[in-house]
Structure 1
Amino acid sequence: MLNQQCRFRHAGIYKAFMFGNPSVIVTTPETCKRILNNDDAFKPGWPTSTMELIGKKSFVGISHEEHNRLRHLTAAPVNGYEALSVYTQYKEENMKSALEWANMEKLEFLTQFRKLTFMIIMYIFLNLESEHLMEALEKEYTVLNYGIRAMAINFPGFDYYKALKARKNLVGVLQSIVGKRRNQKKGYRLTKKKDMMDSLLDVENQNGRKLSDEEIIDVLIIYLNAGHESSDHAMM
């Protein structure tokens, strides 16, 4: 056992129990390179505990082929000059308003940036401008985000347990919005999409299959996770 531990340490490999499963943590560049270049032995993926929070129908819970297809279908409506130009004026106006800090005695940069980016994302995703609803959604998302980086202990008082409850609340709100949008679209087709939700409801693959409610919700959550935290830290 001692010799095995010495070999592991020499290779920069440490064994631990994380994310609800036995885990191996690799630290040296040489070992990382061997793993990242060996697609046959090492498949990309996420821990089951993470997929429970992000969503099994999002990019982290599906096959590589399905990942590419879904990414192409969902990114196209919100990327490029035409799509981004729709939101430019809204973003500019809110950036100016949110960054008026001269009269504030005390502020936390990251907190201010989080509020700003969340507000812009919610407008792009859901055309949402209700401050009350945005504050509630941001609170739930923050709890969810902490849980993604926490030990997978599903017991009251732990971040992962709180994150599972936060995801349930987020899904409930988003499911209600998806249902209302589907009812609004019955009987007619919008000539101009007003947000990402409209695009996701209309998008279909080469066989004519559209996204299910679960797929739409999981895509929104993972895009929120990918675009919110990274943007905040980059601006800070």
Structure 2
Amino acid sequence: MGGILVYVFLLLLTLVSYIVRRREKKDAHQTFKLPPGSMGWPYIGETLQLYSQDPKVFFASKQKRYGEIFKTHILGCPCVMLASPEAARFVLVTQAHLFKPTYPKSKEHLIGPSALFFHQGDYHMRLRKLVQGSLSLDVIRNLTPHISGAASSTLDSWDGGRVINTFQELKKFSFEVGILAIFGHLESHYREELKKNYSIVDKGYNSFPTNIPGFPYRKAMEARKRLSKILGQIICERKEKRLLERDLLGCLLNSKDEKGEVLTDDQIADNIIGVLFAAQDTTASAMTWIVKYLHDHPKLLEDVKAEQEAILKLNDEENRPLSWSQTRSMTHSQKVVLESLRMASIISFTFREAVADVEYKGYLIPKGWKVMPLFRNIHHSPEYFSDPQKFDPSRFEVAPKPNTFMPFGSGVHACPGNELAKLEMLIMIHHLVTKFRWEVVGSQTGTQYGPFPVPMHGLPARFWKESSTARVAALSN
């Protein structure tokens, strides 16, 4: 009898505790209201409205109607969207522990679940330090002549006036730079196998995750398995050589945590593929926009060309290659890069997920809801950038207000390769404007998203190499 009474007492205690917790949670929800906005249709929400038009039009119309914080429902998820610098800092910096990175499982499977940008906490910080170390200024300065050689070789392949897809060609260049940063000098047969299989993974990354033979996602998953095998061979060879290289692979292989444990081969492979993914499309998109903006602004092109030809003339006279210090002195070209990043806003927004109920400015962000800081809206706000739709590199003669310019994200999940990306862009600008002329083919307006914004059709263009006679004449003027 006593046992039954104890059981009943524990059952009642559990029930009362549950009711109290429910009431406390209900009270919290009543204290703070959800942000204004529309959740759209059941399940599909406002996904069709978002993807049937330019995303920036969708976001701007919402912001105009509801303000800088509003709710919606897209891709099967309730979301809170934030369009102010303060809100972006809240989510990405000051209260980052309350918001975890979130990606669809299909994308995690393709890149690899151990990639650093799928994590937070100690593992994330460890991997981030390793990636940052391999992409530090001291390391990438030594990559300058190699990136310069890759840029020159890439552009030479465009010569002749045939129409090329600029974005797709620049993806090839970015891939080569990624290989340099990860492996240093890699044997050609490994590089070609990685390129072939990564291309298949890339094509399936944004496809519908149908695991049926013949579909892009299934092909991508099969190519991902082959990538793991290739990377396993490269890792095994590097281990046997016991080299203390400062490239990414070397940093990953030589790392030990506080317990003396090393990373597994799968963890290393996942992070290599993650860095390749992060380094390719975004940087190629930005460079494609730079090519377009320079084409569309002849006076600006003249100024950039004058800056770069002065550097080329000096190097020709002294018979030396482009140097790291010279890329740091390209003040006009650097402003073109920054303004291109602002205008194009390659990363339009980022996904986070609330790990607890969060209060922000009197509004409730419920646990489990997606949270999206809208970088593009901030970059294109007249409150922070005058005449924001005008391409004007001179605006960067003065540093932007804090948290208003975030082309590489912000906080603990900001892109650790931002300096490498900017170096890549400056080197490409140098070789492009000093050695080539080009024209865009067809319509020069419009943007397509796949998922990153690029000029319509990848910016079809023709390129011609300037004759050596014309270049010498230009340099002597």
Unpaired runs of 5+ residues, structure 1, are 1-8, 17-25
* Structure 1 match to 2:11: none
Taking the aligned partners of 1:230 and 1:216, their CA distance within structure 2 comes to 22
Is residue 135 of structure 1 aligned with residue 192 of structure 2? yes
Cα distance change of structure 1 residues 106 and 131 upon mapping to structure 2, 3 Å threshold: farther
* Structure 1 match to 2:257: 205
TM-score, normalised to structure 1, is 0.78
Cα distance change of structure 1 residues 208 and 41 upon mapping to structure 2, 3 Å threshold: closer
Is residue 15 of structure 1 aligned with residue 43 of structure 2? yes
Is residue 229 of structure 1 aligned with residue 275 of structure 2? no
Match among 111, 115, 123 for residue 66 of structure 1: 123
| Residue type of the alignment partner of 1:11 | M
Cα distance change of structure 1 residues 92 and 13 upon mapping to structure 2, 3 Å threshold: farther
* Structure 1 match to 2:169: 112
Q: Secondary structure at the match of 1:209?
A: coil
Tell me, yes or no, if the aligned pair for 1:51 and 1:60 is still in contact at 8 Å: no
Taking the aligned partners of 2:262 and 2:98, their CA distance within structure 1 comes to 34
Unpaired runs of 5+ residues, structure 2, are 1-36, 45-57, 64-69, 72-79, 289-477
* Structure 2 match to 1:103: 160
* Structure 1 match to 2:227: 170
Match among 80, 89, 102 for residue 145 of structure 2: 89
Taking the aligned partners of 2:161 and 2:186, their CA distance within structure 1 comes to 24
* Structure 2 match to 1:44: 101
Cα distance change of structure 1 residues 86 and 142 upon mapping to structure 2, 3 Å threshold: same
Larger Rg: 2
Greater fraction of residues in helix: 1
Match among 9, 14, 33 for residue 81 of structure 2: 33
CA displacement 1:154-173 (0-9 Å, x = unmatched): 00121111110010011110
Tell me, yes or no, if the aligned pair for 1:54 and 1:222 is still in contact at 8 Å: yes
Taking the aligned partners of 1:134 and 1:13, their CA distance within structure 2 comes to 47
Q: Secondary structure at the match of 1:99?
A: helix
Percent same amino acid among aligned pairs?
25
Taking the aligned partners of 2:168 and 2:234, their CA distance within structure 1 comes to 27
CA displacement 1:201-235 (0-9 Å, x = unmatched): 11223333221111111110000000111111111
Tell me, yes or no, if the aligned pair for 1:73 and 1:204 is still in contact at 8 Å: no
Give the root-mean-square deviation of aligned CA atoms: 3.0
Q: Secondary structure at the match of 1:82?
A: helix
TM-superposed deviation, 1:175 = 0.5
* Structure 2 match to 1:19: none
TM-superposed deviation, 1:149 = 1.1
Aligned length in residues? 215
Taking the aligned partners of 1:64 and 1:13, their CA distance within structure 2 comes to 36
Q: Secondary structure at the match of 2:245?
A: coil
CA displacement 1:66-105 (0-9 Å, x = unmatched): 21222122321222x2101111111112212221233252
Tell me, yes or no, if the aligned pair for 1:58 and 1:222 is still in contact at 8 Å: yes
Q: Secondary structure at the match of 2:141?
A: helix
| Residue type of the alignment partner of 1:162 | K
Tell me, yes or no, if the aligned pair for 1:171 and 1:217 is still in contact at 8 Å: yes
Cα distance change of structure 1 residues 67 and 194 upon mapping to structure 2, 3 Å threshold: closer
Cα distance change of structure 1 residues 184 and 152 upon mapping to structure 2, 3 Å threshold: same
Q: Secondary structure at the match of 1:150?
A: coil
